[in-house]
Structure 1
Amino acid sequence: MRTRWWALAALCFAELLVMVDNTIVNVALPTMARDLDAGISGLQWIVDAYTLVFAGLLLTGGYLGDRFGHRRMLLSGIVGFAGVSALAASSQTLGQLIAARAGLGLFAALVFPATLAIIVSIFVESRERAAAVGIWAATSGVAVAVGPVLGGWLLEHYAWSSVFWVNLPVAAIAVVAIVAVVPGTRPERVSRFDFVGLGLSVIGLGLLTYSVIEGPHLGWTDPRTIGGLAIAVGALGLFGRRELTIDHPILDVRLFANRHFATAAGMISVAFFALFGFIFLITQFFQAVQGYGPLEAGLRTLPFAVVMAVFSPVAMALSHRFGPRPVAVGGAVLMSGGFALVEISSRTSGYWELIIWSMSLMAMGLAFISGPCTQVIMDALTPAQAGAGSAVNDTTREIGGTLGVAVLGSVLTSVYTSGVGERLAALGLPQAVTGVAEESVMAGVEVARQAPAAVGAQLQIAVQEVFVDGLHSAVWVAVAITAAAALAAAYLLRGAPVAPPAPGEGRSSAEPAGAAGLQVEREVTAGTA
C-alpha cells in the first residue's frame, strides 16, 4: 500500500513539471515582449503554442502509452521535455521560442495522459482511487498558480530563459523517482493508428486557435479570419464523422453519448478556459497597471495554489457525501462570482481589498469542479476505456485553456487596440507613437515612460485605463460561460453515472479502439508482479 502512495507522489511530481509550463511564462511575458519585440498576439502564441500542441497530441500520447507501456512513454516524455527546454532557453527570436514551446507541448502530451492512466491502474479500490484522483486533480490546479510564482522568483534573479532552464533539474528528479517507485505497465495489443483523424483534429484546433488569436489584427470580417474559422469547423466536423464510422478511432466520440461523461468533460474545459485566460490577463494587469515586478506579480497569484490545496480534498469529501452534481454546480457558481468581482475593479483597485477575494473564489470553484468531475469521467467508463477517459479528461483541460487564452486575450486585444488609439490620438500624439502603444500594454507603458513628463503621466493613465476596459470586457465572457456551465450541470448531471459499452462493441472488431486500449486489470497485474 505504501508503494502505491509513493508512486502517486512521483506521478504528481511529473504532472507538476508539465502543468507548471502552462503558466510559468506568464510573468515573463512583459520581459519577452521587450526582448523579442512581441505584440499581444505574439505573447498569446508563446502561451498557446504549448497548450495547442499539448491538447492536439494528448490522444496520440494515450495511444502510444497503450501500445508501448505508459511508464515507458512517461519517461521518454520527461527526457524529451528536458531537452527541448534547453532549446527554448537558448531562443534568440520570437519564432524560435514559439517553435520550442510547441516542441515542449509535444513531449508533455506523452507525460500527462500516462500519469492518470497509471494512477487508475494501481488504485483499484474505489475509495482509494477517488482520493488518488482528487490529489492528481488538485496537483493540476495548484500547478497553474505555482507557475507564475516560480517564474517571478526566477525573473527577479535571472533572465527570462531561466523559466526553461529550471525544467532540467526538475525533470532529472522526476525520472529518478519514477524509476524507483512507479510500477511498469504491460503494453497492450492495439489497432492501427488513425493518422487521418489526428490530422483533421490538429488542423481544426490549430486553425480555430490561429483565427481567434489573429482576428483582432486581421479584422473579424476579414476573409482570412472567416475562412479560417469555417475551415476549422469543417475539419472538426469531418473528424467527428470519421471517428464515428471507422472501426478503431483515435477518439471514441460515442463516449460523449454518455450524458455524465460529456457534461463532466465540458465542465472541466469551461473551468480551465476561464482560469487560463484570466491568468494570462491578470499577470499583465499586475505588472503593467499596478507596477509590480515579476516576483510580486507571481506571488499575487499564490491564492490559486493555497485555496486549491485546501479545498480540493474538501470538494472530494463533499462529492462523496452529497454526490458530484451539487459540488460541481457550486464550483461553477463560485467561479462566476469570482470573475464578476473583477468587473468592479479599476486601475487603482487594491489587491487585498478586492483582487485576492475574486481570485480565491475562482480557485475554490476550480477545486469544486476539477476533482469531482474527473471522478465522474472515470466512473462513467468501463475499465477498458480508462486510457481513453484519461486522455479525453486531459484534452478537455488543455483545449479549454488554449481557447481561454485565445478568446479572452482576443477580446482584450480588440478593446485595447481600438481604445488606446483613440485616447492617444486625442492627446495629440503622432501616429507612429500610437502604433507602438497599440502593440501591447507593456509597449504602451514603455512609450509613457519615455515621453516628456508633461504628457507621460497622462499617457500612462490612458494606456492603463484602456487595458482595464479590455480586461472587463474579456472577463464578462468568463462570467457568462461559467454561469451557463452551472445551469447546464444542474440539469445534465442528474442521476447516477452509467458506464457505456466498451469501445469496439457493435463494430466489426471487438478490439479496443485507439487510446482506449488500456486494460486496467492487466496493468495492475503487471505492476504488482
Structure 2
Amino acid sequence: MPSVTHLASASPQTADPPARRWLTLAVVSVSLLVVGLDTTVLNVALPTLVGELGASTSQLQWIVDSYALMSGSLVLFCGSLADRLGRKWIFMAGLALFTVASVVAAYAGSVTTLVLARGAMGVGEALIMPATLAVIGNVFPPGVERTKAIGIWSAAVGVGTVIGPMVGGWLLSHYWWGSVFLINLPVGIAGLFAAASLVPNSRAPESRRLDPAGALLSVVAVASVLWAVIEGPERGWTSPAVLAAFIAGALLLTVFIAWQRRAMSPMLPLRIFRHRALAAGDLLVLVGAFALIGTLFVAVQHFQFVLGYSAGQTGLRLGPAALALLVAGPLAGVLAPRLGMRAVSAVGLALLSASAAVLATTGVTDGYGRALVAMLLLGAGAGFVITVTSDAIVGSLPETDLGVGSATNSAAIQLGAATGVAVIGSLLSDRYRSELDDTPAPVPESLLDSAMESLGTALALAERLPGEAGAVFAEAARHAFVDGMGPALFAGAGVTAVGVLLALLLAPSRDTNPTPIKDPKDPS
C-alpha cells in the first residue's frame, strides 16, 4: 500500500480527474482575487482614515506598507513550510488568518490596531500565495493545460490588484471605511469550506527538516531591504537609517546564501536558480510588478485629484485595466506554448512601458481618453508578464521545491511592487514639491510646507482660501503634480524598456514547460 507521502505527491495526471482540477483552480483563484484586491483596496480610503482615525502622513504610509513588509519578508519561509507541512494546510491557515485579521482591521479603533491587523493580513498572504501556485503545479500536468490554469491564476492576482480601488471606491460611497476589509469575511469563510473538500493536499516527496537559521536570515534580510525601500522616499535615500538598512540587508543576504550552500536541508535550495526559466522569470516579474503597481499608484491620484473623479468614479475608470488583464492572462496561456516565454514576456513588458509613457506625456487639459489607452495597455501587459513568468517558474521546479520555488515568484512581485511605489512615488513627489515651491502661492510659508506633502493636502487647503486665491492655488498644485508625472513615469517606462531587453537576452524562447530540474542528493 502506498505511503501517505507518496499519495500526497502523486502525479497530477493520476491524482485528480480533470473536472476536479478546475474546481481546485476556482477555489484558489477566488481566494487570490481577494488577496490581490486587498493590496490596493485601501488606497482610496486613506483620505477617510485621516478624518476617522486622525492618521498622520507617516501613519498612513505604514497602514499600507505593514502589509507589504510582512508578506514580502515571510513569503520564502512560508513557501518552505508548504513543501514540508502540506500545501493545502498552509493555504487554509493563511486564508483563515487573512480573514480574521480583515475583521480586526474593519473594526480597528486606532491607527496602531489597524497597522497590526494589516501586518497580520500580510502574513496571511505570505502563507497563501506560494501555496496556491504550488497546488496548481501539483494538480495540473505540464503542458498547455497547466499554462492555461496559470493564466487564470495570474488573471486573478492581477485583476484583484486592479479592481481594488474600484471596489474600495464603491464601498466608501455606500458604507463606512471598515467595509473595505469586511468584504473579505464571506469570501474567506466560503473559501475555507471549499478548500477543505476540493483542494488536494501535497508536500515534498521527501520530508526534510526545517531550516530555522535560514528562515531567520531570509526574513530579516528581506525585511531590511523592504524597510529601506519603503522609508527611502520619506527619510531620504542617503539618510543614515536607510543606508544602514540597505547595507544590513545586503550583508544578511550574503550570509543567507552562504548558509543555504552548506546547510544539509536548506530552506531555499540554490540549485533551483540554475534553471534559466526560473531565474529569468523571477527577474522579469519583478520588473513587471514595478511598472504595474507604480503606475497604478500615480493613476489613482491623477484620476481623483487632477481629473476630479470621486473614489467610486476613479474605481470605474480603472475597470478597463482589469478587463484587459482578464483577457490577456488566459490569452498568454494560449500563446506561451506557441511563441515561448521570451516573446510573450517581451511583449508584455513593452506594453507596460508604453502605458507608463502615455501617462508620462499627459497634460493637465487631457481628459480620460488618454488615460483609457494607458489603462488598457497596463492591464494587457501585466496579464502577459505575470502569466508567462509564473508558468515558467512552476515548470522549472521538481515536486520537492514547488512551494519554496513558487515563493520566489511571490517575493519578486512584492519587492517589485514596493520598489515601484517607492521609486516612482519619490520622483513624483520631488518634482511636485519643486514645481509648487517655484510657483507664486497666495498662502503663508507654513501652509505651503503642508501642501507640499501631497496634492490631496494642497487641494484641501485651497478650499479654505478666500476668493480666487483657492482656485489659483489648486490649479498651480495640479500643474505641479502633472509636471511630476513626467519624470516619475518615464522612469517606469525606462525600467520596463530595460526589462524588454532582459527578456530577449535571458528568457528561453520556446522552452516554457521544460522537464523540471532533478533534485540531486547534493543540496547546493
Give the alignment's TM-score, normalised by structure 2: 0.90
- Distance (Å, rounded) in 2 between the aligned partners of 1:202 and 1:38: 28
1:504 CA displacement: 5.4
- Distance (Å, rounded) in 2 between the aligned partners of 1:195 and 1:506: 20
- Distance (Å, rounded) in 2 between the aligned partners of 1:211 and 1:118: 33
- Distance (Å, rounded) in 2 between the aligned partners of 1:129 and 1:211: 37
Task: Name which of 444, 457, 466 aligns with 1:430.
Answer: 444
Alignment of 1:405-416 (within 5 A): 405-416=421-432
CA RMSD of aligned residues (A): 2.2
Task: Name which of 415, 428, 433 aligns with 1:399.
Answer: 415
- Distance (Å, rounded) in 1 between the aligned partners of 2:166 and 2:350: 27
Task: Name which of 215, 218, 237 aligns with 1:198.
Answer: 215
1:36 CA displacement: 4.0
- Distance (Å, rounded) in 1 between the aligned partners of 2:50 and 2:478: 17
1:356 CA displacement: 0.7
The reply on whether 1:129 has 2:143 as its aligned counterpart is no
Which residue number corresponds to residue 380 of structure 2?
A: 364
Which residue number corresponds to residue 504 of structure 2?
A: 490
1:350 CA displacement: 0.8
1:339 CA displacement: 0.9
Which residue number corresponds to residue 9 of structure 1?
A: 26
- The answer to whether the Cα contact below 8 Å between 1:213 and 1:410 also exists between their aligned partners in 2 is no
1:499 CA displacement: 5.3
- The answer to whether the Cα contact below 8 Å between 2:349 and 2:499 also exists between their aligned partners in 1 is yes
Which residue number corresponds to residue 243 of structure 2?
A: 226
- The answer to whether the Cα contact below 8 Å between 1:274 and 1:478 also exists between their aligned partners in 2 is yes
The reply on whether 1:347 has 2:347 as its aligned counterpart is no
The reply on whether 1:334 has 2:380 as its aligned counterpart is no
Deviations 1:506-525 (A, max 9, x none): 249xxxxxxxxxxxxxxxxx
Which residue number corresponds to residue 455 of structure 2?
A: 441
Instruction: Name the stretch that deviates more: 289-298 or 254-263.
Output: 254-263
- The answer to whether the Cα contact below 8 Å between 1:412 and 1:471 also exists between their aligned partners in 2 is yes
1:144 CA displacement: 1.2
- Distance (Å, rounded) in 2 between the aligned partners of 1:389 and 1:455: 57
Which residue number corresponds to residue 459 of structure 1?
A: 473
1:447 CA displacement: 0.4
Structure 1 residues 69 and 284: alpha-carbon distance in aligned structure 2, compared to 1, 3 A threshold: same
| 1:479 alignment partner AA | A
- Distance (Å, rounded) in 2 between the aligned partners of 1:211 and 1:175: 35
- The answer to whether the Cα contact below 8 Å between 1:16 and 1:143 also exists between their aligned partners in 2 is yes
| 1:190 alignment partner AA | S
Structure 1 residues 75 and 361: alpha-carbon distance in aligned structure 2, compared to 1, 3 A threshold: same
- Distance (Å, rounded) in 2 between the aligned partners of 1:205 and 1:18: 21
1:77 CA displacement: 1.6
Which residue number corresponds to residue 156 of structure 2?
A: 139
| 2:428 alignment partner AA | L
Aligned residue pairs total 505
Deviations 1:11-52 (A, max 9, x none): 111111211111111222232344444455544433222122
Alignment of 1:124-203 (within 5 A): 124=141, 126-185=143-202, 190-203=207-220
Which residue number corresponds to residue 523 of structure 1?
A: none
1:435 CA displacement: 2.4
**Long gaps (5+) in structure 2:** 1-17
- Distance (Å, rounded) in 1 between the aligned partners of 2:249 and 2:32: 30
- Distance (Å, rounded) in 2 between the aligned partners of 1:203 and 1:187: 25
| 1:483 alignment partner AA | A
Aligned to 2:362, the other structure's residue is in SS state coil
Alignment of 1:109-128 (within 5 A): 109-124=126-141, 126-128=143-145
Alignment of 1:228-377 (within 5 A): 228-352=245-369, 354-377=370-393
Task: Name which of 121, 129, 133 aligns with 1:104.
Answer: 121
1:8 CA displacement: 1.2
| 1:467 alignment partner AA | F
Percent identity between matched residues is 35
- Distance (Å, rounded) in 2 between the aligned partners of 1:95 and 1:282: 28
1:456 CA displacement: 0.3
| 2:448 alignment partner AA | T
Structure 1 residues 413 and 203: alpha-carbon distance in aligned structure 2, compared to 1, 3 A threshold: farther
- The answer to whether the Cα contact below 8 Å between 2:33 and 2:156 also exists between their aligned partners in 1 is yes
1:264 CA displacement: 1.2
1:209 CA displacement: 2.9
- Distance (Å, rounded) in 2 between the aligned partners of 1:125 and 1:203: 35
Which residue number corresponds to residue 520 of structure 1?
A: none
Which residue number corresponds to residue 514 of structure 1?
A: none
- Distance (Å, rounded) in 2 between the aligned partners of 1:501 and 1:316: 22
- Distance (Å, rounded) in 2 between the aligned partners of 1:406 and 1:253: 29
1:376 CA displacement: 1.4
Aligned to 1:439, the other structure's residue is in SS state coil
| 2:151 alignment partner AA | G
- Distance (Å, rounded) in 2 between the aligned partners of 1:430 and 1:107: 46
- The answer to whether the Cα contact below 8 Å between 1:81 and 1:104 also exists between their aligned partners in 2 is yes
- Distance (Å, rounded) in 1 between the aligned partners of 2:271 and 2:142: 27
| 2:39 alignment partner AA | N
- Distance (Å, rounded) in 1 between the aligned partners of 2:232 and 2:121: 26
